[in-house]
């Protein structure tokens, strides 16, 4: 160690035992303690790769049917929105009591754009509704048919009580009817809030000028429950309609194909059979539809029946039995082409999306 370095590192101070040396202790390099510098801690998060799983799901038959239903519903509503507007106004008793008068009334008050009032929310509503409804119908129908076949192959249970023999067979249950009911219930539970919004935007444009204001005002007035106003009559009305609708279409389609020795229908035949199924189902369940609409928008007119029976009684008291079918003509004009076009588009999209042999 050099003298200069030593002088710089030494310091002296006086004490009781003489000069005390304090300074920096210099250790030889051979015995210096080396401090290991640990690398900085790195946290890495790697999300699992879902691409393969998503691709596998999209290739399934169920995904193709759900997508076909969504596309068919969107295309149908884009064409038939004016008829939906006229039908809704007549069913709830707003404006003119005939189709042509209601049509002209909307144009005079709101212009041509008024015929598509609420169509934005209607498109948002119909895409998930048709996807869930048609996809659920196909899935439940296949499941029920498969269950019946397996039940028959395994010899369904039999109970013998003396001379009385009970056979627990599932053959009396129609897979199509069960699937139709399940489709209606599933789509209603998921998409009912969108139906409420669509009706409010269609009937009261001055109160609900756009979607965001409608959502805010409905929530402020009644909370989440307000979006499910009329859910009970909707479910009650949906069950007979949906069951009859899908049962009629499948039955007519099967019978027609057998009579003509055909495996599939062409597009015009799908259009006609779908329209007939819609007409039959709408006619049977239309009084329940009138009561449902009255309950959903009754608050806007300052009077809201307490329940479905009250709504039906109110209509009969005010307008007689024929009041239960007020707007039936407009409803048929909407339901028949809507049903026919939906089935035509749906079958066409299925042919495109499910053409792979894996889905057969």
Burial of 320 (0-12, 13-18, 19+ CB in 10 A): exposed
**Distance of alpha carbon 213 from alpha carbon 159, whole angstroms:** 62
Beta bridge partners, 161, equal 164
pLDDT of residue 187: 92
**Distance of alpha carbon 186 from alpha carbon 128, whole angstroms:** 11
Task: Residue 88: name the closest of 340, 356, 305, 334 by CA.
Answer: 334
For the chain, the first-to-last Cα distance in angstroms comes to 92
**Distance of alpha carbon 121 from alpha carbon 214, whole angstroms:** 11
pLDDT of residue 9: 45
pLDDT in tens, 29-63: 554 545 555 556 555 656 566 666 666 666 788 88
In order of 98, 114, 132, 203, the CA distances from 104 in angstroms are 10, 11, 35, 16
pLDDT of residue 68: 93
User: Which positions of the chain have pLDDT values less than 50?
Assistant: 1-23, 27, 31, 33, 299, 357-360
pLDDT of residue 50: 62
Detail the DSSP E strand segments found in the chain.
Answer: 10-13, 20-23, 158-161, 164-167
In order of 116, 123, 196, 197, 212, the CA distances from 218 in angstroms are 21, 20, 10, 9, 10
Task: Residue 176: name the closest of 149, 150, 145 by CA.
Answer: 145
Return the number of other C-beta atoms located less than 10 Å from residue 151's C-beta. Answer: 15
User: What are the residues whose beta carbons fall under 8 Å from the beta carbon of 250, sequence distance 6 or more?
Assistant: 176
Contact 274, 339 (CB under 8 A): yes
CA angle 263, 130, 193 (to 5 degrees): 160
pLDDT of residue 288: 80
pLDDT of residue 167: 64
Task: Residue 196: name the closest of 110, 299, 99, 278 by CA.
Answer: 299
**Distance of alpha carbon 237 from alpha carbon 249, whole angstroms:** 19
């Amino acid at each position: 160690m050099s003298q200069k370095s030593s002088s710089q590192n030494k310091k002296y101070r006086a004490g009781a035992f003489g000069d005390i040396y304090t300074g920096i202790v210099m250790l030889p390099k051979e015995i210096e303690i080396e401090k290991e510098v640990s690398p900085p801690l790195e946290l890495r998060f790697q999300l699992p790769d879902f691409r393969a799983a998503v691709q596998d799901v999209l290739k399934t038959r169920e995904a193709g049917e759900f997508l076909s239903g969504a596309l068919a519903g969107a295309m149908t509503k884009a064409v038939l929105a004016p008829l939906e507007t006229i039908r809704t106004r007549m069913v709830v008793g707003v404006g003119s009591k005939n189709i042509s008068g209601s049509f002209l009334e909307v144009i005079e008050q709101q212009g041509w754009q008024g015929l598509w009032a609420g169509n934005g929310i209607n498109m948002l509503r119909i895409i998930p509704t048709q996807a869930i409804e048609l996809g659920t119908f196909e899935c439940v129908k296949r499941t029920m048919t498969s269950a019946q076949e397996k039940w028959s192959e395994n010899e369904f249970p039999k109970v013998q009580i003396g001379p009385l023999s009970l056979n627990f067979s599932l053959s009396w249950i129609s897979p199509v009817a069960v699937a139709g009911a399940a489709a209606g219930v599933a789509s209603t539970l998921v998409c009912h809030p969108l139906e409420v919004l669509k009706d409010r935007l269609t009937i009261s444009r001055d109160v609900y000028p756009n979607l965001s204001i409608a959502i805010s005002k409905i929530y402020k007035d009644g909370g989440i429950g307000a979006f499910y106003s009329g859910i009970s009559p909707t479910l009650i009305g949906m069950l007979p309609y949906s069951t009859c609708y899908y049962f009629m279409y499948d039955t007519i389609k099967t019978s027609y194909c057998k009579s003509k020795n055909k495996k599939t229908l062409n597009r015009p035949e799908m259009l006609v059979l779908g329209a007939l199924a819609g007409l039959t189902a709408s006619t049977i369940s239309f009084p329940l539809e009138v009561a449902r609409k009255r309950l959903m928008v009754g608050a806007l007119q300052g009077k809201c029946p307490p329940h479905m029976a009250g709504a039906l009684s109110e209509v009969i008291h005010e307008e007689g039995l024929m009041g239960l079918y007020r707007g039936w003509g407009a409803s048929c004009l909407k339901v028949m082409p809507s049903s026919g076009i939906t089935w035509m588009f749906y079958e066409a999209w299925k042919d495109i999306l499910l053409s792979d042999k894996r889905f057969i």
